[in-house]
Structures are given as structure tokens and as C-alpha cells.
Amino acid sequence: MNYSIALVPGDGIGPEVIAPATEVLDAVGDRYGHVFNYVELEAGGAAIDSTGEPLPAATLEAATQCDALLLGAVGGPRWENLPGHLRPERALLGLRAALEVYANLRPAVLLPQLRSACPLKDEVLSASNHEGRAAFDLLIVRELTGGLYFGKRGRLEEESDGHRPGAAFDTETYSWREIERVLRRAYAAAALRRKKLCVVDKANVLESSRYWREVTAAVSGDYPEIETSFMYVDNCAMQLIRGPGQFDVIVTSNLFGDILSDEASVLTGSIGMLPSASLGDIVGGRPRGMYEPIHGSAPDIAGQDIANPLGTILSAAMMLRYSFGLEAEALAVEDAVGAVLDSGYRTRDIAARSAAGGEKIVGTQAMGKAVVELLETTRNF
């Protein structure tokens, strides 16, 4: 089969982590007889520099026509002082909104090979894990196209607190439909996992959170095999570091999901390991999808060949699974990443805190090459 992939390398380490991901995809294509056609698109700071706007109409148009979109990262200090609507981040938000990819799946898994890169103590990890293992496997489902990120916002010039004139506001608004569709996605994900869903909110204070609970009460009846629970977001932030093993699927609003997924990522050893899939409605049997590592553009390490490409490679695996329905291929890539770690390859960010024997510290490109090489040794290949 032929697949068209919109490729948005973006800024900072974006292009460096996208390149190995395409090499891995090409190796998968060769082996399984697929052709991946890349349509490289400009967005973010790179697009601001060449066109004056973060999300040129041509990018948006092409992105909606491809089968899936793979993005590196956008943003950087060079564009930080631009007004809100011209910042590189607008490109991300604009793509998410235009593609209507409302369900953002962010798996946070502590692989046994990276145990020593996790900052939690053994007692904490194994105590929270129902199987007594020093590892965890959770999935954050973040609502991605609503809430505070897209609510009414503005400035109130006439207001005054007596010192300086003016005020600013952002609003959290969620419709029943927006909540229901992301909840159903989260329930579907939980059904394929350990069958636990935790709705994270601030229902003791926020009306919008109380509305999430109402919608959950109505929807949960359709999923009797899933155990539904609720947790306040402040408690969840604490529970994630007290015992991440207690969670299976967490579903939450756009802002809370943004914050909690960064927190969860540190527990996996490095933010550089975490992939994400942003999914929309099912069209022609498959959801619209946009795939990106969660780490961002990391301008401080850009251009040095030290960034970890595994988050992007694992995002490409999610693309194979969700957008193209290529489960065996996705597993092959995930297995290859495991095999690379088993072989001791580490980018700097996931190197053991204390010197451990057998580790080979490699750069971005070498890590990508190692995954391609080890692909051939995995059981699914």
C-alpha cells in the first residue's frame, strides 16, 4: 500500500528527530511492502521566518490531504516575543483544531531497561504496582481541541485594580459533545488495557469539571466492564509520584493533560521517550491522526546530535497502528526500540544516573541507525 505522510520537522531538535523516524519507517516499508510518501511542510518558527506566519494556508491545506501527519516540534526563543497569534505554538494549535484531533493519547511507560533513569525509589514503584513490579504503564488521554486553550480570551482595558489599568482572561468551556467524544475514546483505550479509567478534574471548584462528571455518569453505563473513578488534579499530581502503578488510563482536560503528561514523562526516565497520537473522528475506517513526541523543540540542545529520537520513532509506530492499521509493523518498531535499549544504546538523557556497565552513549543519528538495524532482529519483522 501507499501512504502519504505530512511531515512537519519544525524547529529546534524537530528536524533531527524526524530524520531517524523516516529512516525507520522506510525500513518498515521495505520489509512489509509499503511505500511511505512524505510531503514536507513548513510550520512554526521555520514558517514564520520564510512566510511571516506560523501556519501558512498551504501547510494547512496539504496537511488535511495526507493520510497522517508526523511532527517534530515547534517553537524557540527567537520567536518568543511575537504577539500570541504569531507565535510558533499557534501552528500546533491550528493544526490540532483544523484536523479536529481531539483525543491526545500520551502513553507513559517505565521500561525495565530504563529503571535506573527513573527518579523514584524502588519502594515507591513496587508498592504502587499491583503486580509488585518496579515499573508502570499508564496512558493519559488529554482532550486536545477545547478547554482553556481554545476558550474565549481577551483583555479588559477598562478594568482597574487601582494600580495599573487592565486585566486579562482565559475561559474553560466544554460542551457535552466535546467531553463525550474524548471520554468514549478513553473508554475504548481502557477496554484494551487493564480496564480502569480515572477522570481527573477539579470538580471541587470548577463548574466545567462538574459537567465532565455529569457526562461521565451518562456515558460510563455503556462500559460496564470498565472501572470508572474520579480524582482531583492536585491529588493526581501527587499520586503520580507517590505511586504511578495505580493508574491505567487517565482522561482529562486540555490544560490538566498538558501538565500531568510532562510530570509523567519524567518518571519514564526522560521526556525524550514519550510519543503521542492525536486522533479525530473515524473517517473511512481510520481516525484522522497527528503524531508527535511530547518533548518540544529543546533549543538548548538543537543541532548537536544529542537529542533522543525514540519519542518520535515511537510516535511513528503509533501512526502505523492508528492511522494505517498496521499493528504488526507498529509492534516491530516498538520491539526494536526495546532491543536497542537491551543492547545498551542510550542517548545522554536516558543514560543511567550512576555509571552502569554496558551502556553505549550514542547521538541522535546513531540511535536511529541502531533501531533500523535491530528492526531485523525483532520477532515481528
Residue found by looking up cell 518520535 in the block: 312
Minimum distance from residue 144 beta carbon to Mg ion (Å) = 11
* d(C-alpha 251, C-alpha 245), whole Å: 16
Q: Which residue is nearest to ligand IPM (CB)?
A: 89
Identify whether 262 is a catalytic site residue.
yes
Known catalytic residue at 258: yes
Per the CB < 8 A criterion, the answer to whether 145 and 280 are in contact is no
- Radius of gyration, alpha carbons of the chain: 21
249-252, strands of its sheet edge to edge: 35-40, 2-10, 68-73, 286-291, 277-283, 103-109, 137-143, 249-252, 196-201, 227-232
Closest listed residue to residue 248, CA positions, set 323, 193, 316, 305: 193
Verify binding: residue 258, Mg ion, rule CB under 5 A. Answer: yes
Residue 248 interface partner, choices Mg ion, ligand IPM, none, CB cut-off 5-8 Å depending on type: none
Phi, psi dihedrals of residue 72, rounded to the nearest 5°: -80, -80
Q: What is the footprint of Mg ion within residues 350-369 (CB under 5 A)?
A: none
Closest CA to 154 of 133, 169, 172: 169
Question: Per the residue annotation, which of 49, 170, 234, 342 is the catalytic one?
Answer: 234
Coil, helix or strand for 276? Answer: coil
Catalytic residue (one of 3, 11, 137, 202): 202
Residue numbers of the site for ligand IPM (CB under 6 A)?
75, 89, 92, 258, 294, 296
Nearer to ligand IPM, 72 or 269 (CB): 72
Nearer to Mg ion, 125 or 274 (CB): 274
Shortest Cβ 349–Mg ion spacing (Å)? 17
Q: How far is the CB of 381 from Mg ion (least distance, A)?
A: 33
Q: Which of residues 26 and 262 has its CB atom nearest to Mg ion in the complex? A: 262
Quick one: 71 or 374, whose CB is closer to ligand IPM?
Answer: 71
Catalytically annotated residue among 211, 262, 305, 369: 262
Please report, as ranges, the residues that interact with Mg ion according to CB under 5 A.
258
Instruction: Return the active site residues.
Output: 149, 202, 234, 258, 262
